[in-house]
Structure 1
């Protein structure tokens, strides 16, 4: 039987597995989490008592359905689930996987549904302990029922900013301010495009925004995070009228929507293009997600279309796989139409909540760009006479993107700074090439003989 490996057990991976199982295949699903669901529908550990309504709000019914579908497929033996494992490398039709032990899992077809990471922009002082990404704060809330602070400031832009703020408020946390760098006029223009594509989703977002009341501020400029030995003490910012403001806090969450995690897709051989709407490098694929011979991409790792779009993309990628195998498959026409609507919504969202390119380009030399390596904007600018305006050479000589995150959180900001200094565009700077291992790993794991793959 054809061996199909799915990397990721979020909405895209689950729907891909469901579609393949319905056609008689038994896919293997590898995921880093202990339980399937992905980030948006992340499940707490067994025994936690918070209800889906508390965890997922208006999306509780969708979360329940998705979890139940995957659990049933696993229980019936139609899907092999390998949780708490990371795919570290791909070579010759074999995935090198690391969990408690190292495994080698062979495959004939690969569906990559690795989702996205937070898209972060540096703010002076963000290297302090107690400054988190919005996604990290949401993981702590969903998985452990923990608010990462007693008085919290959330800053950035995009739907996750509003969603997390309302989730924290509903949990009883004190959210002192929600600071959105997107001007209100731009939000209105993009919001109209969003409403034309998905009116009810847009309305739900407006209701969440309204619930924040006076905590929410649009069109702000973030000037710095003040901190002491214990962590943040205040966020300094400038409001839409240019007035300097300061909000006391002990925790800061930052995030500007999402960045597709293309690491595994890159290792699998996918090509990438700069996407002007999303202001980032995205993998190249056909409408169903084909990205190469036997390679299919789905979910936010392909295009950032949200949880509903990820489910559709998972079905589409599995359909493409079945088509290529000559097996019975669903008619993709309706799925493609719905994906088109999701993409129009996402384009409106990117217009409404843009990446703060100018804010990043204007960073003072003293501001940290790469938190892993402690590299400042001035350090990066000082590298350019030797490296030239090319991302990988700047990484080699200046170490931006060389640390634990491998550029996931500093690559886009680094490209903006390089481009500004060179008088060019970020797309001309290029992207950092992925290389194995895809995640930091202990050397000892690679010195030991790999265990027999559970999927073999």
Structure 2
């Protein structure tokens, strides 16, 4: 049996670990030069900062994951710097690109897709200016390049990543000029009892928040970002506090992020149906608790299936591999299956509370000013998308045909979720009714090679 695992983050590492234990040598494909995923991204050789400085309280988990990754590379068909840009499940084929060159196809009997996630953003005026990145991008700058995005950045959004990134920047010597959380304290407090399902993580988050506030870094909760200002480069963030007062904070960079969204394009191309998750306020591929999808031979794990975080990704990666083994009649550790199922149920309860504590600010996306550049690839404004709604465009794919929103380099990976909020508000319908942009190959830009 030829098994392919796509992704070498927490989910991919633990999936490969279980497959190797069962005597298989899977093809293991990773887009980056090395594994670890974004949360445990490895720095380049010779990087001066250690695990504790890079990963904080997760240093031990990062070390263990990296050790497992290194031990498994020689026991699998390890293929780094390889992009899977299309999948044909019924033919059992992945189409890949390695180090910028098209390498043809990789055959498989079963595939575990551990494709991870990306930041979810709400465009605001000035967000396309140099010096503006995502919260995840600001972390990657620290971990993979050893640099900050600015000496005094403003961090804007909501969710645990906002506070974690702020603390990491503080410790790295680039204290944020402002941490702006669009969620008010009362909303977080109401969700707190549900987060007791993972008390250690809750307590760690509270420590992060307290440490940041004690440091003197300005913090605004329940606030609204209005615009990023500057003449060609970032100079300030204009915002409104919870009481409705406007303020301007000088800064030299801005990081934006309102949680994460699954990188589920390959699941889409594989024919996996999607469902709207009202709590995460986004579309997720359908799969059971073990990672099985309705498409035979296709399994999903980690944040590419639904946002759960690095710890859940490790559990889900192992569980998907065990499901695959069981489905193929190969021995699987039943005691481990029981343990993983119990842990995943508990973590699902915690994630539900976490999503309620840090909700996506749909109202900000829906009220986006007409002149705001919504789709940066195609230079489409929110006003132009609203005009498409009158054309009429009753759902996102029709709006794409009429306005070109989501038709550029990112194929709607960045603009798709906020565009759906804008369209739904213009139509006066629930955002689920506005639908989602369908995936198209290639999932990311690939070179056109003469004769290929």
Question: Which TM class, normalised by the smaller chain length?
Answer: over 0.9
- Give yes or no for the alignment of 1:310 onto 2:313: yes
Q: What's 1:124 paired with? A: 125
Q: What's 2:39 paired with? A: 40
Output one character per residue of 1:102-145: Cα deviation in whole Å (capped at 9) or x when no partner. 22211110100001010111112212111101111111110011
Q: What's 1:351 paired with? A: 356
1:226 counterpart (189, 208, 229): 229
Gaps of 5+ in 1: 449-456
Cα distance between partner residues in 2 of 1:236 and 1:41: 33
Q: What's 1:97 paired with? A: 96
Counterpart contact for 2:236–2:248, Cα < 8 Å: yes
Q: CA deviation at 1:83?
A: 0.5
Q: How many residue pairs were aligned?
A: 442
Q: CA deviation at 1:360?
A: 1.1
Cα distance between partner residues in 2 of 1:404 and 1:140: 22
Q: What's 1:203 paired with? A: 203
1:391 counterpart (374, 389, 396): 396
Cα distance between partner residues in 2 of 1:90 and 1:302: 16
Q: What value does the CA root-mean-square deviation take over the aligned residues? A: 1.1
Output one character per residue of 1:158-177: Cα deviation in whole Å (capped at 9) or x when no partner. 00000011011101013101
Cα distance between partner residues in 1 of 2:407 and 2:134: 19
Q: What's 1:62 paired with? A: 61
- Give yes or no for the alignment of 1:52 onto 2:51: yes
Cα distance between partner residues in 1 of 2:246 and 2:73: 55
Counterpart contact for 2:154–2:176, Cα < 8 Å: yes
Q: CA deviation at 1:341?
A: 1.1
Structure-1-length-normalised TM-score: 0.95
Q: What's 1:453 paired with? A: none
- Give yes or no for the alignment of 1:366 onto 2:371: yes
Q: What's 2:19 paired with? A: 20
Counterpart contact for 2:302–2:316, Cα < 8 Å: yes
Worse-superposed segment, 97-106 or 401-410: 97-106
Cα distance between partner residues in 1 of 2:350 and 2:430: 26
2:83 counterpart (74, 86, 90): 86
Q: For residue 151 of structure 2, give the secondary structure of its aligned residue in structure 1.
A: coil
Counterpart contact for 2:393–2:402, Cα < 8 Å: no
Cα distance between partner residues in 1 of 2:395 and 2:250: 39
Q: For residue 160 of structure 1, give the secondary structure of its aligned residue in structure 2.
A: helix
Output one character per residue of 1:197-229: Cα deviation in whole Å (capped at 9) or x when no partner. 101100100111111114221100111111212
Counterpart contact for 2:166–2:175, Cα < 8 Å: no
Structure-2-length-normalised TM-score: 0.96
Q: CA deviation at 1:192?
A: 2.2
Cα distance between partner residues in 2 of 1:359 and 1:143: 32
Q: For residue 118 of structure 2, give the secondary structure of its aligned residue in structure 1.
A: strand
Q: What's 1:240 paired with? A: 242
Cα distance between partner residues in 1 of 2:211 and 2:245: 25
Q: CA deviation at 1:385?
A: 2.1
Cα distance between partner residues in 2 of 1:49 and 1:35: 18
Q: What's 1:402 paired with? A: 407
Q: CA deviation at 1:387?
A: 4.0
- Give yes or no for the alignment of 1:334 onto 2:335: no
Q: What's 1:283 paired with? A: 285
Cα distance between partner residues in 1 of 2:219 and 2:113: 37
Q: What's 1:298 paired with? A: 301
Q: For residue 234 of structure 2, give the secondary structure of its aligned residue in structure 1.
A: strand
- Give yes or no for the alignment of 1:252 onto 2:254: yes
Cα distance between partner residues in 1 of 2:413 and 2:352: 22
